[in-house]
A and B are shown apart, each in its own frame.
Chain A
Amino acid sequence: MDFSWIIAGPTAARHLALMGAEVIKVGSSRRPDPSARGAPFQVYNQSKEYCALNLSTSKGLDIAKELVSISDVVIENFAAGVFERIGLDYQTLKNLRPDVIMVSSAGTGHTGPDKDYVAYGSLLQHYTGWNTISGYGDGEPIKGGLWADPWVGMELAMVTVAAINHRMQTGKGQYIDFSMAESLTASIPSSLLGYQMTNSLPVPSGNEDPINSPHGLYKCQGQDEWIAISIQNATQWESLCGTIGKKEMSLDTRLSSPEKRRNHSSEIDTVITAFTSGLSAHKAMEILQDNDIPAGPSINIAQVYEDPHTIGSGYLTPQTYPNGVTRLMPGMPWTSNLENSFHLEAAPEIGASNLRIYKELIGISSKDYETYLENQIIY
């Protein structure tokens, strides 16, 4: 049962749906899922069933409880306390289904002094330390949005399935009180340990690296075309020098280690840019990779969508919508040796599964069904 909305919760349920779980999303036109206004809804809710239910009515709540009693997992991501106030706290759910797994995700979790803090993902990431380890080290926090919600969606899916595995072996259900903020902070562990060891805060350095050099972006031909190049060992350095027509540079003892090269970075960058600036980023990648040099273009999301590897690797596949339009839509970022690895279907509209869920699955009579529609219970 997916009672969640916006991004993180629906994404977690999406992953389970793509892996073959039967996922029923519940929402109401009384308070529509805000993400339904945009295209991203179409990925957050792939492969789900979607029924309408007004949880502010007592009959609506009864129906929700009936659905919970036949479900393995309940996912919600309202602000802390909201789901409980609706009447769907863990104890109630547990009474309906003793081994239920209830996954509750909120910005700062469901306990602690700041549990009621109002959070948007883009703002929450500032709290978690994320924004201070990226950028140029000039003190200004970076302004761009990172991947707070998609990251949380992936971790929610991970712990949900871990809890299912635990239940299979112990028979025990689980209440998972998930904090988005903690999930993000836990994703920068080496910065946390490094600070404790050195007593100095991490200084972000854009595209540079503390170990490897050269390591950065080089201008290519065309508007905003850049290629990322990273040299990880002596062989790659030698190959780079040869490929860009500067074989003598690989013999230069002033440049024989990453540390030395970092001290002469502007000299080296000028030479590399002289090579890349005459090529498109994709052409530069092709030439460099053919010579075993790690390189790839810095591209925007529309270019990613059109990149030959995004389709060639099987990540995007055609999906046909009820109106007959076919679009390339994403699957999961892995492949396996099993047939039919993923269950991929277009995201439904609200209420699309009403008949199947209410009449077929839990046996509501046609007469009652009509009444519930009329009274805005199935709404």
Chain B
Amino acid sequence: MGLLTGLKVLEIGEHISAPYAAANFVRLGAEVVKIETARGDVSRGYGPYPNARRDKEQSALFLAHNHGKKSILLDLNTSAGQGNLKAMIPHFDLVVENQKLGFFNDRSLGFDEVNTINPSLIWVSILPFGETGPYSNYLADDLILFHMSGNAHGMIGPVEDPNLEPPIRAGGYQSHMVAGLTASTAAMIANYRRLNTGEGCRIVVSELNAMITMAISGIANTAFDHPPPTRQLSKVEGSSIGGMVSAIGGVLKCNDGYVAISPREDAQWERWLEILGNPSWSKDEKFISREGRQNNVSELWDRLTEWSSPKSKFDIAKWGQEKRIPCFPVNTIQDLLVDEHLEAREFFVEIAHTKAGNLLHPGLAYKLSNAELPKGMISAPELGQHTEEILERYVKNE
């Protein structure tokens, strides 16, 4: 039994945010029915696909977020489809959706309506800008939300000329992932309230505000009158930007990629030099103090790179960690799939797909003492695979 076994979820989702939110519930044992139109979830059309052959049943983006769900075809533009949805609503605890603002009101399926049918139903909507505020009618995708959230300005670190090198977004449609996770959290809290009071409620997640919440430290700094970090390399002072090359730490080239190191405190630096065999250059006055290392950071990094280049990122990370220095290989996707630590923790879960074969999916990021982990999970459904079964169960037997 999982943490959410018995919870019944209806997903009216597309692409990433709502499907990912519902996938979090699937992994915890909830039963999720996904409503799709005849075209299918747009992520079925995104890929990548095995052997580069386009197939709506084998898109990686779709399979990533839809395993363990049941797919039902329902056209909510028709009164028959709307009627079926209304017939299903009394049987569910939670709806999660990311349709356009006004979609349900326009079809007489607004919250007031469904709340009458099922007063304990929780309805979670995900909208790019929420439904209040000046931008609530604006259109956006991951690129736009990411750049409007303040996160893009920190991504690549300072540049020579900010007017020539634009900020960039992260890979992996992160603002939709963040919105999905946020919706999952909101839904869990609403469910707690439902279990206590028997009452449902409606929650609207703003994707933009969810992504801003990922930069909440910067929000706090601004609230307390600190200026934002500059993007102009020549104006960078100190060494406080996480992850960039500085005396605090950075990334070194190796013979198999990169290793991230951070021998920032003096004691850590001394232990780090032991790994390097206490080279003569390290005794130079300019590298003795943390301040000195910061002031001579490019020369320092050249010296370290000379040492690291012929070595393996995995060896260096291990040597560093053995001496209690924060140190990690920069793992590629390939490295992760064979990582011994992740294997020991049984992080990846193998799910068999009739067409795409056996694939390793990320499982839960935690172990639970008193609930089962998602083993033996079934793969993502084919488009409309469970239409008859679901309508039979919830609609026709009424």
Contacts and interface: CB of A to CB of B under 8 A. Distances in A.
B106 interface: no
Given A129-B331, A132-B333, A298 B362 contact: no
Interface string B162-195: 1100111111111001100111111011111001
Interface in A346-366: none
B367 A192 contact: no
B210 A300 contact: no
Chain A interface size range? 35 or more
A303 B65 CA distance: 33
B90 interface: no
A206 to B, nearest CB: 4
Given A144-B244, A189-B65, A126 B219 contact: no
B154 A111 contact: no
B352 interface: no
Contact of B136 (A215, A313, A330): A313
Contacts of A58: none
Interface stretch (A173-181, A260-268, A367-375): A173-181
A158 interface: yes
Given A165-B4, A224-B231, A123 B327 contact: yes
B330 A193 contact: no
Nearest to B144: A296
Contacts of B7: 165
Nearest to B329: A127
B381 interface: no
Contacts of B325: 118
A333 B186 CA distance: 9
B345 A42 contact: no
B258 A141 contact: yes
A118 B268 CA distance: 12
Contact of B222 (A109, A117, A301): A301
Contacts of A335: 130-132, 203-204, 206
A86 interface: no
Contact of B347 (A182, A189, A232): A182
B361 A192 contact: yes
Given A126-B330, A128-B331, A195-B334, A314 B132 contact: yes
A168 B195 contact: yes
A126 B260 contact: yes
B309 interface: no
B321 interface: yes
A174 B28 CA distance: 14
Contact of B262 (A112, A120, A293): A120
User: Of residues A15, A130, A147, which shows the largest number of chain B Cβ atoms within 10 Å of its Cβ?
Assistant: A147
Given A132-B331, A191-B333, A195-B333, A109 B367 contact: yes
Interface stretch (A23-31, A47-55, A250-258, A304-312): A304-312
B370 A173 contact: yes
A11 interface: yes
Nearest to B369: A175
A151 interface: yes
Interface in A168-227: 168-170, 172-180, 182-183, 185-198, 201-202, 204, 206-207, 209-212, 215-217, 219, 223-224, 226
Contact of A42 (B4, B188, B191, B220): B220
A298 B153 contact: yes
Nearest to A118: B326
Given A190-B172, A298-B152, A174 B370 contact: yes
A81 interface: no
A177 B367 contact: yes
User: Of residues A110, A140, A308, A330, which shows the largest number of chain B Cβ atoms within 10 Å of its Cβ?
Assistant: A330
A195 to B, nearest CB: 4
Contact of A304 (B131, B150, B261, B364): B150
B324 to A, nearest CB: 6
Contacts of A292: 139
Contacts of B156: 135, 142-144
B213 interface: yes
B242 interface: yes
A92 interface: no
21 contacts: A43-B220, A112-B341, A113-B341, A122-B242, A123-B261, A127-B330, A129-B333, A134-B155, A141-B260, A144-B244, A146-B170, A165-B4, A192-B336, A194-B48, A216-B166, A302-B227, A309-B135, A333-B212, A334-B130, A335-B130, A337-B202
The 7 closest A-B pairs by CB, nearest first: A145-B242, A313-B133, A122-B242, A301-B218, A147-B214, A133-B171, A333-B209
